[in-house]
Amino acid sequence: MRPAGRGPVRWAAEIALGGYRSVLLGALTGLLPAVGVTVGVGGWRFASSWSDRLTAPLPVRVLAACGEALMTAVWVAAALWIVGVLLARPIAQTCRRLAGRWLGLRLAVEYPPPVPVVQMATGYWWDGTEYHSSEREARRRAAMNARFHTPQLRYDGLWLAAAAVTVLPAVAVPLTTLGAGAYLLSRPGLPVAGAALVVLGVLLAPFGWRVFGPVAAALLGRTPRDRRDERVERLEAIRTDLTRTQAAELERIERGLHDGPQARLVALGMSMGAAERLIESDPAAARAILSEARAASATALSELRSLVRGIDPPVLVERGLVDAVRALALDAPLSVEVRAALPGRPERPIEAAVYFAIAELLANAAKHAHAAHVDVDLGYADGTLTGTVADDGTGGAAPSPGSGLAGIERRLAAFDGRLDIDSPSGGPTRITLAVPCVLS
């Protein structure tokens, strides 16, 4: 989200917006250091006032000073731990909302709900970790465990500590510079230095808060354990989809063989047997039967080739993805222009997945979008194979459940690929598929 306008107006808006964001982030990330400093100063003063009353020899006073430092460190650590436990979650949630609003980062996390309590046969209540004599106590402890004993809370505390040493200093620089400049402007004899600091603070205002972006992206998302669990769930879903797709493909092949070439070959065998019986008594009829059998064999061969082409097109195996897509363009019922710049060939499974995805998109452009012209671009950059299919059709393409686009998404997901769809109602449609891979 950037301010509207141009020139000085936009720059002034950037300065004001940067100052506002710096103040807000400073307040959120400075709470932990403020508590630590406050408790540390107070504890040190209390310990010092106690040790100052000692009249013991110097070694004893040195030990007392060490005790002061240790006691102060303990107090500060306890205060920071309490503040972190109580405020890490609301502060982290607020920062996630700000990151989404300011930077467009999607940092949604899930906090586990309380474990349902269960009454055991003994009459005690189980909260997931221990037994309780009353249901109310069990529910209270379950709510506390869900609130204060989760990996996400520890990760939020890590964010709070990291932001205190990264985001806070960055946002404090322009604010401190402006404050120092304003103070020097009010002092006699120092207006030039004050004006210089004010100008410097104004120039830094739009940039100090931007360190918030990378730190938030690194630490405000889901915990590593949650990301691993999400990855496992995704892989299990992909495996299930692949199993179903493979079963459907085998069923299609079996049905195609049974209804097409197999039936024709059986009829061909029967015709050859009839011709064999008639070849002595009625040669003309035998020749007619053999002629029909030859036509049937040609039809069966054509059906077999069509079936095999649907499994693994020969042009894809022999010539590669670029020539196979160009062959698709020649057979398409609409005008298709192919532009490609691939320095090599991807692995066979990825090549086949991209080929059939483009074939499906070309069919959709002709059948559903009623397009007249399609542009296909194939490219490779930064370890990613990309294919873009753009048509001038009616638009409105969306991966609804059971649709061809949903099938393409599942096919590409098996290779960590993605499908980006830009298809407003009325067109045009631009669909980009990207698959990370290494070219041979």
First to last CA, the chain: 42
Q: Cα–Cα distance between 419 and 433 in angstroms, integer?
A: 5
Q: For the residues 131-158, what does the mean pLDDT come to? A: 79
Q: Rounded mean pLDDT of the chain?
A: 78
Strand partners, 337: 375
pLDDT at 307: 62
pLDDT at 36 over 80: no
Contacts of 27 (CB under 8 A, 6+ apart): none
pLDDT at 341: 83
Query: What proportion of the chain, given as a percentage, has pLDDT over 90?
Result: 0
Q: For the residues 248-266, what does the mean pLDDT come to? A: 67
pLDDT at 276: 74
pTM value > 0.85: no
- Which of 73-87, 279-293, 369-383 reaches the highest mean pLDDT? 369-383
pLDDT at 42: 67
Q: For the residues 200-208, what does the mean pLDDT come to? A: 86
Provide the token pair at 150.
């989760």
pLDDT in tens, 402-437: 677 887 887 787 788 888 888 888 878 898 999 888
